[in-house]
Amino acid sequence: MDATLLQKYVDDGWVITDPSCNQMKKEIFEGKTYLFREDRIVNPETKEIQAFELLMDIDDYTWFEIIDACESFGYTAKQVDMWLTEGEEIDLILECLFELEA
């Protein structure tokens, strides 16, 4: 993605979370629902890239799904449970889940 297009996303409220694959997030409903987007390679031989977007709501996931996803990125169950209890880092939790989506 060229710098001009990337800047348009940023200007529209997107936050870049991983510039290596143009991964970004945009808060849709405060502290609960985010739209995630990234460029994914769909054909390793040709290096063809396709945008993958997913609207994610924290209420769509069980505690176990959340803990499992976050632990795969090195966060502890205790840490993630605290985030859920206090309503913090919901975007980070959803980003972990997004990373594991096919």
Residue 1, CB-side half-sphere exposure with 13 Å CA sphere: 22
Maximum C-alpha span of the chain: 45
Comparison of pLDDT for 93 and 9, the residue scoring more = 93
DSSP-derived secondary structure letter, 18? E
Structural domain spans, the chain: 3-100
Would you say residue 61 has pLDDT above 70? yes
**Interval 18-57: pLDDT, tens:** 988 899 999 999 889 999 999 999 999 999 999 999 999 9
Token representation of residue 24: 């970004």
Note the pLDDT of residue 7: 86
pLDDT band at 102 (very low <50, low <70, confident <90, very high): low
Comparison of pLDDT for 3 and 72, the residue scoring more = 72
Place of tokens 């040709």: 46
β partners of residue 27: 34
Average pLDDT, the chain: 93
Can you give the pTM of this predicted structure? 0.86
How far is residue 91's CA from residue 34's CA, in Å, rounded to a whole number? 7
